[in-house]
Chain A
Amino acid sequence: MDAAQALADLTEISAQIEAAVLAEADGSVVASTFRQEGRGEELARAAVDLVAAAGEARGNSGTPELVQIQAATPRGSLFVVRDESHMVAAVTGTKPTVGLVFYDLKTCLRMLEREEAKAEKPAKAEKSEKATTAKSKVGKAATSGKPTTTKKDEGGDEGS
Protein backbone atom coordinates (compact mmCIF):
# COMPACT_ATOMS: atom_id res chain seq x y z
CA MET A 1 0.00 0.00 0.00
CA ASP A 2 1.35 3.43 -0.90
CA ALA A 3 0.55 6.90 0.41
CA ALA A 4 -2.23 7.48 -2.11
CA GLN A 5 -3.88 4.24 -1.06
CA ALA A 6 -3.57 5.21 2.61
CA LEU A 7 -5.36 8.48 1.87
CA ALA A 8 -8.03 6.76 -0.21
CA ASP A 9 -8.66 4.38 2.68
CA LEU A 10 -8.86 7.33 5.05
CA THR A 11 -11.53 9.14 3.07
CA GLU A 12 -13.42 5.89 2.66
CA ILE A 13 -13.36 5.11 6.39
CA SER A 14 -14.17 8.61 7.57
CA ALA A 15 -17.24 10.11 5.95
CA GLN A 16 -16.59 13.36 7.80
CA ILE A 17 -13.33 14.06 6.00
CA GLU A 18 -13.97 16.10 2.86
CA ALA A 19 -10.40 16.46 1.68
CA ALA A 20 -6.98 15.46 2.94
CA VAL A 21 -3.34 15.78 2.05
CA LEU A 22 -0.39 13.69 3.16
CA ALA A 23 2.91 15.54 3.17
CA GLU A 24 6.49 15.38 4.34
CA ALA A 25 7.36 17.37 7.44
CA ASP A 26 8.59 20.24 5.23
CA GLY A 27 5.25 20.44 3.38
CA SER A 28 6.14 18.65 0.15
CA VAL A 29 3.06 16.72 -0.91
CA VAL A 30 3.20 12.91 -0.87
CA ALA A 31 -0.44 12.29 -1.74
CA SER A 32 -3.61 14.31 -1.91
CA THR A 33 -7.33 13.77 -2.42
CA PHE A 34 -7.57 16.97 -4.46
CA ARG A 35 -7.88 16.65 -8.19
CA GLN A 36 -5.91 19.83 -8.70
CA GLU A 37 -2.32 19.46 -7.59
CA GLY A 38 -2.08 23.11 -6.53
CA ARG A 39 -4.78 22.80 -3.91
CA GLY A 40 -3.06 19.93 -2.18
CA GLU A 41 0.18 21.90 -2.14
CA GLU A 42 -1.62 24.95 -0.77
CA LEU A 43 -3.24 22.92 2.01
CA ALA A 44 0.07 21.27 2.92
CA ARG A 45 1.88 24.62 2.95
CA ALA A 46 -0.82 26.18 5.12
CA ALA A 47 -0.68 23.20 7.48
CA VAL A 48 3.08 23.73 7.85
CA ASP A 49 2.44 27.44 8.53
CA LEU A 50 -0.18 26.52 11.13
CA VAL A 51 2.16 24.06 12.86
CA ALA A 52 4.97 26.65 12.89
CA ALA A 53 2.68 29.39 14.22
CA ALA A 54 1.25 27.01 16.83
CA GLY A 55 4.76 26.06 17.94
CA GLU A 56 5.60 29.74 18.36
CA ALA A 57 2.36 30.34 20.23
CA ARG A 58 3.19 27.71 22.82
CA GLY A 59 6.87 28.62 23.01
CA ASN A 60 9.47 26.24 21.70
CA SER A 61 11.80 25.85 24.67
CA GLY A 62 11.14 22.98 27.01
CA THR A 63 7.63 22.26 25.76
CA PRO A 64 6.57 18.84 24.52
CA GLU A 65 6.25 18.27 20.81
CA LEU A 66 3.09 19.45 19.07
CA VAL A 67 1.37 16.40 17.57
CA GLN A 68 -2.20 17.40 16.69
CA ILE A 69 -4.13 20.54 15.81
CA GLN A 70 -7.81 21.19 15.35
CA ALA A 71 -8.98 24.58 14.17
CA ALA A 72 -12.74 25.05 14.15
CA THR A 73 -14.37 27.82 12.14
CA PRO A 74 -17.98 28.43 11.07
CA ARG A 75 -17.03 27.10 7.62
CA GLY A 76 -15.64 23.82 8.91
CA SER A 77 -12.70 22.35 10.75
CA LEU A 78 -9.07 21.82 9.84
CA PHE A 79 -7.19 18.91 11.39
CA VAL A 80 -3.45 18.33 11.33
CA VAL A 81 -1.72 15.24 12.74
CA ARG A 82 2.04 14.86 12.50
CA ASP A 83 4.86 12.50 13.39
CA GLU A 84 8.64 12.73 12.96
CA SER A 85 8.64 12.49 9.18
CA HIS A 86 5.11 13.09 7.89
CA MET A 87 1.95 15.01 8.52
CA VAL A 88 -1.61 14.63 7.36
CA ALA A 89 -4.01 17.56 7.09
CA ALA A 90 -7.74 17.15 6.60
CA VAL A 91 -10.74 19.39 6.14
CA THR A 92 -14.15 18.49 7.58
CA GLY A 93 -17.53 20.16 7.83
CA THR A 94 -18.78 21.96 10.92
CA LYS A 95 -19.19 19.99 14.15
CA PRO A 96 -17.06 16.96 13.33
CA THR A 97 -16.54 14.08 15.78
CA VAL A 98 -13.12 15.32 16.79
CA GLY A 99 -11.80 12.15 18.45
CA LEU A 100 -12.86 10.00 15.55
CA VAL A 101 -11.22 12.23 12.93
CA PHE A 102 -7.98 12.33 14.92
CA TYR A 103 -8.08 8.56 15.29
CA ASP A 104 -8.54 8.07 11.54
CA LEU A 105 -5.74 10.50 10.69
CA LYS A 106 -3.37 8.80 13.14
CA THR A 107 -4.30 5.43 11.66
CA CYS A 108 -3.44 6.77 8.20
CA LEU A 109 -0.01 7.94 9.39
CA ARG A 110 0.61 4.63 11.19
CA MET A 111 -0.31 2.64 8.08
CA LEU A 112 2.10 4.67 6.00
CA GLU A 113 4.85 4.25 8.58
CA ARG A 114 4.27 0.49 8.67
CA GLU A 115 4.40 0.26 4.91
CA GLU A 116 7.61 2.27 4.78
CA ALA A 117 9.15 0.04 7.43
CA LYS A 118 8.11 -3.04 5.42
CA ALA A 119 9.61 -1.58 2.27
CA GLU A 120 12.83 -0.79 4.12
CA LYS A 121 13.15 -4.26 5.68
CA PRO A 122 13.68 -6.25 2.44
CA ALA A 123 16.12 -3.62 1.23
CA LYS A 124 18.06 -3.84 4.50
CA ALA A 125 17.89 -7.64 4.47
CA GLU A 126 19.20 -7.66 0.90
CA LYS A 127 22.02 -5.31 1.88
CA SER A 128 22.99 -7.34 4.94
CA GLU A 129 22.75 -10.56 2.89
CA LYS A 130 25.14 -9.10 0.31
CA ALA A 131 27.45 -7.93 3.07
CA THR A 132 27.37 -11.36 4.74
CA THR A 133 28.08 -13.10 1.44
CA ALA A 134 30.99 -10.76 0.76
CA LYS A 135 32.30 -11.24 4.31
CA SER A 136 32.03 -15.01 4.12
CA LYS A 137 33.88 -14.94 0.79
CA VAL A 138 36.61 -12.86 2.35
CA GLY A 139 36.56 -15.07 5.44
CA LYS A 140 36.87 -18.23 3.35
CA ALA A 141 39.74 -16.77 1.39
CA ALA A 142 41.44 -15.73 4.59
CA THR A 143 40.91 -19.05 6.34
CA SER A 144 41.89 -21.07 3.28
CA GLY A 145 44.90 -18.87 2.80
CA LYS A 146 46.18 -19.08 6.35
CA PRO A 147 46.79 -22.82 6.63
CA THR A 148 48.37 -22.86 3.22
CA THR A 149 50.78 -20.16 4.26
CA THR A 150 51.40 -21.86 7.57
CA LYS A 151 51.93 -25.16 5.88
CA LYS A 152 54.26 -23.55 3.41
CA ASP A 153 56.05 -21.77 6.23
CA GLU A 154 56.14 -24.91 8.25
CA GLY A 155 57.28 -26.81 5.22
CA GLY A 156 59.86 -24.13 4.56
CA ASP A 157 61.04 -24.28 8.16
CA GLU A 158 61.17 -28.00 8.04
CA GLY A 159 63.04 -27.95 4.78
CA SER A 160 65.68 -25.50 5.93
Chain B
Amino acid sequence: MRARNALAALGLAAGAATAAALWLRRGGAPREHVDLYFADGSMVSFEPGSLEGDRLLPIARRVLAAARG
Protein backbone atom coordinates (compact mmCIF):
# COMPACT_ATOMS: atom_id res chain seq x y z
CA MET B 1 0.00 0.00 0.00
CA ARG B 2 2.77 2.36 1.03
CA ALA B 3 4.79 1.50 -2.07
CA ARG B 4 1.78 2.18 -4.26
CA ASN B 5 1.26 5.58 -2.69
CA ALA B 6 4.91 6.45 -3.13
CA LEU B 7 4.73 5.38 -6.78
CA ALA B 8 1.62 7.50 -7.35
CA ALA B 9 3.27 10.53 -5.72
CA LEU B 10 6.36 10.03 -7.84
CA GLY B 11 4.25 9.78 -11.00
CA LEU B 12 2.36 12.92 -10.06
CA ALA B 13 5.58 14.81 -9.40
CA ALA B 14 7.07 13.66 -12.70
CA GLY B 15 3.91 14.72 -14.57
CA ALA B 16 3.92 18.13 -12.90
CA ALA B 17 7.60 18.63 -13.72
CA THR B 18 7.03 17.71 -17.37
CA ALA B 19 4.03 20.06 -17.62
CA ALA B 20 6.00 22.87 -16.00
CA ALA B 21 8.92 22.32 -18.37
CA LEU B 22 6.63 22.38 -21.41
CA TRP B 23 4.86 25.51 -20.16
CA LEU B 24 8.14 27.28 -19.51
CA ARG B 25 9.53 26.26 -22.88
CA ARG B 26 6.43 27.52 -24.65
CA GLY B 27 6.54 30.79 -22.75
CA GLY B 28 10.31 31.15 -23.09
CA ALA B 29 10.48 31.24 -26.85
CA PRO B 30 8.52 34.22 -28.19
CA ARG B 31 6.34 33.39 -31.16
CA GLU B 32 7.31 35.07 -34.39
CA HIS B 33 4.88 37.62 -35.76
CA VAL B 34 4.68 40.95 -37.56
CA ASP B 35 2.18 43.55 -36.34
CA LEU B 36 1.24 46.43 -38.62
CA TYR B 37 -0.39 49.50 -37.08
CA PHE B 38 -2.29 51.98 -39.23
CA ALA B 39 -3.10 55.67 -38.86
CA ASP B 40 -6.77 54.98 -38.11
CA GLY B 41 -5.78 52.85 -35.09
CA SER B 42 -6.33 49.48 -36.75
CA MET B 43 -3.77 46.68 -36.44
CA VAL B 44 -3.06 43.52 -38.40
CA SER B 45 -0.92 40.66 -37.15
CA PHE B 46 0.78 38.20 -39.47
CA GLU B 47 2.27 34.90 -38.31
CA PRO B 48 4.74 32.61 -40.06
CA GLY B 49 2.95 30.41 -42.55
CA SER B 50 0.80 33.25 -43.83
CA LEU B 51 1.72 34.83 -47.17
CA GLU B 52 2.43 38.23 -45.60
CA GLY B 53 4.25 36.79 -42.59
CA ASP B 54 6.54 34.75 -44.81
CA ARG B 55 7.33 37.88 -46.81
CA LEU B 56 7.90 40.25 -43.88
CA LEU B 57 9.60 38.04 -41.29
CA PRO B 58 12.73 37.29 -43.38
CA ILE B 59 13.32 41.04 -43.69
CA ALA B 60 13.00 41.45 -39.92
CA ARG B 61 15.36 38.52 -39.33
CA ARG B 62 17.86 40.05 -41.74
CA VAL B 63 17.64 43.39 -39.95
CA LEU B 64 18.16 41.84 -36.53
CA ALA B 65 21.07 39.77 -37.78
CA ALA B 66 22.64 42.89 -39.31
CA ALA B 67 22.05 44.95 -36.17
CA ARG B 68 23.59 42.34 -33.91
CA GLY B 69 26.53 41.80 -36.24
Interface residue ranges, A against B (CB under 8 Å) = 18-19, 34, 39, 42-43, 46-47, 49-50, 53-54, 57-58, 63-76, 78, 89, 91, 94-95, 98, 102
| Contact mask for chain B residues 24-53; partner A; CB cutoff 8 A; 1 contact, 0 none | 000001111111111110101010000110
Q: How large is the interface on B (under 10, 10 to 19, 20 to 34, 35 or more residues)?
A: 20 to 34
Q: Total A-B residue pairs with C-beta atoms closer than 8 Å?
A: 103
Inter-chain contacts of A58 with B (CB < 8 A): 36, 38, 44
Interface residue ranges, B against A (CB under 8 Å) = 29-40, 42, 44, 46, 51-52, 55-57, 59-69
Q: Do most interface residues of chain A lie in helix, strand or loop, or is the interface mixed? A: mixed
Tell me how far the C-beta of B32 lies from the nearest C-beta in chain A, rounded to whole angstroms: 5
Q: Indicate if the CB atoms of B56 and A57 lie closer than 8 Å.
A: yes
Inter-chain contacts of B63 with A (CB < 8 A): 42-43, 46-47, 50, 71, 78, 89, 91
